[in-house]
């Protein structure tokens, strides 16, 4: 198996950069005429994968909206991850895990070991317990040719209190980005250790040249636009993985309408990267 970075680069070059999110909010389930139950969750999530999987380079299920339905919701998530792979897309599981020692190793085994039914191609992780908290995920990703997206510059209120704080000569976010750049050094065509950089942060003076993918949530309903992504990422925009959830999912339950909504957004970002 090739590295995650190589697989993602090939998929983005072939299908475009857009990563539709699969976020089964209760409100979206109701908008699709579905009950907020495990059965409604399954119809929603599998319908989204059926529509978007064959035409997307990657899909990003949000684990929380499956977990809230208990064991039956987790069973749906397992099936969703399998169906994403069957559709030829990469699965980026948004779990934002971050812990230390054997607990971090357990999370890494759960989400990155292909022997696990919850294994994804890549996951999101939080580094804010320190660099050592990410290391078990880094080692598991290397061992299994998987990827990581490490929170760096998120756009949630209050994020700057941590991310913009200074840690020596760099900000905390700058330190995260520098460590990712070191992990990706020499990787071709793209490293497997990415950063999460919100599409609505406005601007940044941080160095985004990490030789890895840059997951950009917040496109669409949250206000992120191709123009904004172009400004934020600059000469690194080719490595941006813009992610849109609500704007695309609200086009359902018609699967053709879902696919058309994703295609319009994807085409806008294809134009951006030339």
Judged on CB neighbours under 10 Å (0-12, 13-18, 19+), 208 is buried
Catalytic residue list contains 96 = yes
Residue that is written with structure tokens 């792979």 in the block: 85
Measured CA to CA, the distance from residue 40 to residue 24 in angstroms comes to 9
**C-alpha angle 92/95/96, rounded to 5°?**
110
Q: In tens digits, what is the pLDDT along the chain, a chain of 274 residues?
A: 699 999 999 999 999 999 999 999 999 999 999 999 999 999 999 999 999 999 999 999 999 999 999 999 999 999 999 999 999 999 999 999 999 999 999 999 999 999 999 999 999 999 999 988 999 999 999 999 999 999 999 988 888 889 999 988 999 999 999 999 999 999 999 999 999 999 999 889 999 999 999 999 999 877 889 999 999 999 999 999 999 999 999 999 999 999 999 999 999 999 988 7
Q: Is 9 helix (H, G, I), strand (E, B) or coil?
A: helix
Q: Which two tokens stand for residue 246?
A: 């609500």
Give CA separation, 259 vs 8, 38, 273, in Å. Answer: 20, 24, 21
Ordered by start, the domain boundaries in the chain are 4-273
In the set 96, 170, 246, 270, the catalytic residue is 96
Rounded to an integer, what distance in angstroms lies between the CA atom of residue 173 and that of residue 167? 9
d(CA 120, CA 85): 9
The answer to whether the Cα torsion of 258, 61, 242, 193 is positive or negative is negative
Report the candidate in 153, 154, 97 with the shortest Cα–Cα distance to residue 120. 97
Classify 4-273 by CATH class: alpha beta
pLDDT value, residue 1:
66
3-state secondary structure 237-269: HHHEEEEECHHHHCCCCCHHHHHHHHHHHHHHH
Cis peptide before 253 (omega within 30 of 0): yes
Please state, in angstroms and rounded to a whole number, the distance separating the CA atoms of residues 37 and 72. 9
Cα–Cα distances in Å, from 183 out to 55, 97, 238? 30, 19, 19
Distance CA 259, CA 254 (A): 9
In the block, which residue shows the tokens 């793209």?
190
- Can you tell me the distance from the alpha carbon of 99 to that of 105, in angstroms, rounded to the nearest whole number? 9
pTM over 0.95? The answer is yes
Answer whether 44's CB lies under 8 Å from 24's CB.
Answer: yes
Q: Residue 117 has what pLDDT? A: 97
């Amino acid at each position: 198996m090739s590295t995650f970075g190589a697989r993602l680069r090939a998929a983005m070059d072939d299908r475009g950069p857009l990563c539709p999110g699969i976020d089964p909010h209760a409100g979206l389930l109701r908008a699709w005429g579905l009950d907020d139950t495990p059965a409604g969750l399954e119809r929603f999530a599998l319908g989204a994968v059926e529509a978007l999987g064959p035409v997307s380079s990657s899909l990003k299920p949000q684990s929380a909206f499956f977990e809230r339905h208990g064991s039956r919701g987790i069973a749906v998530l397992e099936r969703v991850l399998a169906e994403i792979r069957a559709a030829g897309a990469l699965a980026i599981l948004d779990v934002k895990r971050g812990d230390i020692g054997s607990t971090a190793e357990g999370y890494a085994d759960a989400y990155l070991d292909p022997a696990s039914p919850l294994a994804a191609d890549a996951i999101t992780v939080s580094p804010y317990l320190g660099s050592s908290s990410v290391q078990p995920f880094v080692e598991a990703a290397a061992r299994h040719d998987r990827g990581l997206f490490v929170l760096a510059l998120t756009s949630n209120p209050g994020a700057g209190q941590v991310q913009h704080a200074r840690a020596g000569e760099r900000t905390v976010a700058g330190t995260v980005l520098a460590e990712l750049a070191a992990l990706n050094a020499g990787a071709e065509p793209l490293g497997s250790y990415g950063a999460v950089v919100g599409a609505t942060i406005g601007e940044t003076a941080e160095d985004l040249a990490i030789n890895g993918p840059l997951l950009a949530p917040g496109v669409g309903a949250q206000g992120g636009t191709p123009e904004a992504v172009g400004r934020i990422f600059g000469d690194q925009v080719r490595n941006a993985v813009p992610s849109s959830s609500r704007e695309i999912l609200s086009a359902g339950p018609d699967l053709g309408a879902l696919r058309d909504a994703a295609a319009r957004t994807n085409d806008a970002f294809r134009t951006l990267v030339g």
